[in-house]
Amino acid sequence: MKHLLQIDDLDREGIENLLHLAEAFAEVNRRPIPKVPALRGKTVAMLFYENSTRTRVSFETAARRLSADTMSIAVASSSVAKGESLRDTAQTLEAMGVDAVVIRHHAAGAPHLLARWLDASILNAGDGWHSHPTQALLDCLTIRQRLGSLAGSQIAIVGDIKHSRVARSNVDAFTKLGARVTLVGPPTLMPPGVQTWPVEVSHSLDAVLGQMDVMYLLRIQQERMTEPLLPSNREYVRTFGLTTERAAKLDDSVLLMHPGPMNRGIEIAGSLPELDQSVMVDQVRNGVAVRMAVLFALLGSGNQMDSMLPAAATVGAQQ
Amino acid sequence: MAERERRGAPPYGGVFVARTQVLAADELQRAIWRMAHEIVERNHGADHIVLVGLQTGGVPFAFRLADAVEKIESTRPAVGSLDVAFHRDDIGIRPVLPEAPTELPEDLDGKIVVLVDDVLFTGRTVRAALDAIHDFGRPRSVQLAVIVDRGHRELPIRADYVGKNLPTRRDEAVNVTSDGVELGEVLK
């Protein structure tokens, strides 16, 4: 595996191998000194054309815990502001000798272009509405830790599906691991062509509330809307917000998830993230482990990730 | 089996074919008894000892040494396991992937850590383990116990407790299981 551009490039086994690797890094993160020399001498560049706190810090933390060097390009204060093209910026980075570029871009497909232009490994940290593969992997890890497995579980993804790269990547990853996904939201926030996705679609949150193992809530992405798609925030809260009244109908074992940043009081009532069944903090913690796993798989395992066998098979092979 | 042998043939080791048996199960158990005696003799008892098995081959022997020490001293030393994959020096050359969990008891400050592995070969796994151990604290001392020392060191490392010194050719392979020790080849 050379790049991580989208979940689509991974099969079920590939996802499970990365999650297995991520568990090993989760253990590293619990050590008194959570740092290993695995990627010593490698350089990872962060190229963020869109605002981000958790993803950028998470990738930087992951790279540093693997002893890689990081450079962070704040696009607003760089040559990009002077009109430099994506290709020129990327080639400048490559000339400085980076081994991997973590890119977030407002245009879908930008990481794919970089992968064509550069020799470095490209990690997609979110491109437009399209894909956010490490988010999907960390969500899978979080669900697996809590429920044991995704196979057969019922997952509702609620909210602004249309503008959400998280929803696209998660539908892909969840269904590959055997979960059944229901998308919930108003028709205006459903993506075109949703009937071809391997999911159920519902326009009533109350109708699906009792049947789910995981409630995955999304932020309304006002900044991506070019036309009014919702009457008002209050109207949205009334029909699709996870209010305390709706949450009271949920079983205590139902996981509440959110990729962040949250708008408390809109898609989720202000007090709910503090519940035991809310795993947003686990998601952030797992994000570092998953990104360590991806960086290690791309840069550290001698590109042998494809032939990786699960631990049990390795031990068996010697006898 | 030493890490290098296991990774030797793609994808992950060929088939091990035994040529001779070096230690039978009962001889192996006697060697473990002797090593346990040596460990408690040298450290004046079993206090402060933590036996750390190196994943994956060393872990069962860390437990067996702990059983033996417990019978001798009637106190059971702590046992842990350590996977050194992320500390290896051959990352990027050959596939290096973690195999099994690292679980170390509490913190290691002031403890006597005895690293336990099945086969000592080039010494590179032990070098990685010495590195990894220091992320968990500052042990009073670190010692090394191996079931088989087969020679061919590539680093200045030696074992403190050895079950069996076994002269080998480089291209041979040593297989250590609970049933004993065999010498043979890995066929690709």
Residues A21-36 pLDDT 10s: 999 999 999 988 999 9
pLDDT digits (tens, 9 = 90+) for B16-51: 889 999 999 999 999 999 999 999 999 999 999 999
In a domain, A312, yes or no: no
A204-to-A156, A171, A209 alpha-carbon distances in Å = 11, 19, 9
- Are A279 and A285 contacting, i.e. CB atoms less than 8 angstroms apart? no
Q: Which of B109, B110, B116 is nearest to B79 (CA)?
A: B116
Is there a domain that residue B1 lies in? no
B57-80 average pLDDT score: 95
Range of the domain at A273: 133-282
> Is A31 within a domain?
yes
Q: Are residues A72 and A32 in the same domain?
A: yes
Coil vs helix vs strand at B49: strand
Select the residue of B1, B56, B135 nearest A31 (Cβ to Cβ). B135
Contact across the interface for A28 and B86, Cβ inside 8 Å: yes
- Is residue B8 one of the residues assigned to a domain? no
The whole-chain average pLDDT of chain A stands at 90
Q: What is the pLDDT of residue B188?
A: 73
Backbone angles phi, psi at A85, to 5 degrees: -80, 160
Please name which of B168, B88, B80, B89 lies closest in space to residue B116, comparing C-alpha atoms. Answer: B80
Residues A114 and A156 in one domain: no
Residues A40 and A164 in one domain: no
- Based on the fold, state whether residues A145 and A106 are members of the same structural domain: no
Q: Specify whether A70 is located in the same domain as A15.
A: yes
Which backbone phi and psi does A289 adopt, to 5 degrees?
Answer: -65, -40
Answer whether residue B141 is part of any domain: yes
Q: Do the domain assignments include residue A316? A: no
How many angstroms away from the CA of B69 is the closest CA of chain A?
27
Same domain, A107 and A162: no
Domain assignment present for residue B39? The answer is yes
A24 vs B contacts (CB less than 8 Å):
83, 85-86, 98, 101-102
- Within a domain: A21: yes
Residue-wise pLDDT for A76-108, tens only, equals 777 777 788 999 988 888 899 999 999 999 999
Looking at residue A270, its amino acid is G
Task: Evaluate whether A133 touches A5 at the Cβ level (below 8 Å).
Answer: yes
Residue B72 domain boundaries: 24-169
Model confidence at A135, pLDDT cuts 50, 70, 90, reads very high
Contacts of A301 in chain B (CB under 8 A): 91-92, 95-97
Of A300, A301, A311, the CB nearest to B99: A311
Q: B95 and A304: CB-CB below 8 Å? A: yes
Does B56 reside within a domain? yes
What's the average model confidence in pLDDT over B130-155? 95
Q: List residues in chain B touching A: CB distance below 8 A.
A: 1, 6, 10-13, 16, 56, 83, 85-87, 91-102, 107, 131-132, 134-137, 175, 177
CATH number at residue A61: 3.40.50.1370
CA B115 to chain centre: 6
The total domain count for chain B is 1
* pLDDT of A128 strictly over 90: yes
Return the CATH number at B70. 3.40.50.2020
% of chain A beyond a pLDDT of 70 = 94
Q: Are residues A140 and A92 in the same domain?
A: no
Is B180 a member of any domain? no
Question: How many domains are contained in chain A?
Answer: 2
- Closest residue in chain A to residue B134, using alpha carbons only: A33
pLDDT confidence tier of residue B94, bands split at 50, 70 and 90: low
The CA angle B152-B158-B163, to the nearest 5 degrees, is 90
Confidence band, pLDDT 50/70/90 cuts, at residue A302? low
Domain match, A159 and A234 both: yes
Note whether A121 and A154 are same-domain residues: no
Q: Give me the sign of the Cα torsion angle B100, B106, B107, B113.
A: negative
Q: Is B19 contained in some domain? A: no
Q: Indicate whether A137 and A278 sit together in one domain.
A: yes
Same domain, A191 and A233: yes
A229 and A263 part of one domain: yes
